[in-house]
Structure 1
Amino acid sequence: MDVAGVRYRLHGIDAAEAGQKCPNDRGGNWPCGQAAIAALEELVKDRQVHCDDRGSDDYGRTIAVCFANGRDINHEMVASGLAWAFRKYSEDYVDTEDQARQLKTGIWQAPTQPAWEYRSEKWAVAQQTAPSGCPIKGNISKGGKIYHAPWSPWYAKTKVSVAQGEQWFCNEAEAVKAGWRAPYWGRGSTGLTK
């Protein structure tokens, strides 16, 4: 999420990826990644947002707990069943996740692949066919230099033309260091990124 020119990674949570679909309790699938984006947009829309800095991640984003009109956005995403407590890095939202799971809210209505497993699986598949095993696509478009990781909903449609200055990257940190940015996931103009 971008707030006042600062890129934030929400501390202690991991939401479904933009292109991710999750099983529902009726045996079908629902666009849980798009639902997470829409919920985050709704939480911040027309509200005063401030974030408490918790340090930086490997991609230069500031890790933070963010608030919209005093509401803990990180907590709200987990409570609504649209994000997992990212236990690998923090236990701050574990109780909230346990409550959402008990209520079968959102991602908890049926067994769902966590976002980190979804990304890992997409990475492994893309790495097999990418040049030098570096599967991140650096694309130049009207929006500038944008990189697409294998879990991007636009990944399959994105072509890399090295002759036109586009390139492949081995990790997101490398793409960011070279001046490329992640795509904007949100539908509105909130500057949300994932």
Structure 2
Amino acid sequence: MKDKKIISKVEINRIFGLVLAVASLSALAARADDLIGQASVIDGDTIEIHGTRIRLWGIDAPESSQLCRNDDSNLYQCGRASAMALAGLLWAIKRPVSCFPVDRDKYGRTVATCSLGTPGPDIGHWLVANGHALDWPKYSKGKYEDAQRSAEKAGRGIWAGSFVEPWQYRACVKAGGRPATCSDDAADHR
């Protein structure tokens, strides 16, 4: 009788362990697509974690070759400034970046919302709120619209001067325009 009770407890423990393992595996599978780790900056709206390029969802930052005008109407490399701001944020707040994939773009990059830590501040929101990127309503459906309005009103980042929206800049370059003529209204300021 005593042996049967021992076997029963062993079997119950084995079943419990198996149920726990299956539950753990399904929880891991649900989060298998999430990317978490130290991020490196590719440009103002793209990072890389563990070799995976991640395009930040819902925002568009100036391109690396794009020029903007500051509050004195002088040209500056606003795409580079955006990337440097993102790098500064990641350096200043030393937490792993957590990205939650939403889609893939036409270049095969993962498109994701990313935050500093879990939970943590939304990196896309921070970039828009500080004038280093724009809300891209085509994709965001206005999620960062309030942050953008606040940055514009306060004259933060690119809002301190003048610029062309990054999507318009890319279209101009794709149509054969040179970066200098596609950036801002540079042709009018010669």
- The DSSP-based 3-state class of the residue aligned with 1:50 is strand
Structure 1: which 5+ residue stretches go unaligned? 127-149, 152-194
What is the CA RMSD across the aligned residues, in angstroms? 1.6
1:59 is aligned to 2:59: no
Residue in 2 aligned with 1:8? Answer: 54
Alignment of 1:30-179 (within 5 A): 30-45=76-91, 46-69=94-117, 70-90=120-140, 91-125=142-176
Structure 1 CA distance for aligned equivalents of residues 82 and 161 of structure 2: 16
Question: Runs of 4 or more off by more than 3 Å in structure 1?
Answer: none
- Residue deviations 1:21-66 (CA, integer Å, cap 9, x gap): 1111112122211111111112223431110111211221111111
Q: Is the 8 A contact 1:13 1:78 kept in 2?
A: yes
Greater mean alpha carbon deviation, residues 84-93 or residues 37-46: 37-46
Structure 2 CA distance for aligned equivalents of residues 62 and 36 of structure 1: 20
Structure 2 CA distance for aligned equivalents of residues 24 and 39 of structure 1: 16
Residue in 2 aligned with 1:21? Answer: 67
Structure 2 CA distance for aligned equivalents of residues 47 and 22 of structure 1: 31
Sequence identity (%): 39
Which one has the largest radius of gyration? 2
Residue in 1 aligned with 2:21? Answer: none
Letter paired with 1:109: A
Q: Is the 8 A contact 1:79 1:96 kept in 2?
A: yes
Instruction: Report deviation, 1:88.
Output: 1.3
Would you say how many aligned residue pairs link Structure 1 and Structure 2?
128
Structure 1 CA distance for aligned equivalents of residues 86 and 60 of structure 2: 12
Greater mean alpha carbon deviation, residues 106-115 or residues 76-85: 106-115
Structure 2: which 5+ residue stretches go unaligned? 1-46, 180-190
- The DSSP-based 3-state class of the residue aligned with 1:111 is coil
- The DSSP-based 3-state class of the residue aligned with 1:112 is coil
Q: Is the 8 A contact 1:22 1:29 kept in 2?
A: yes
Letter paired with 1:52: F
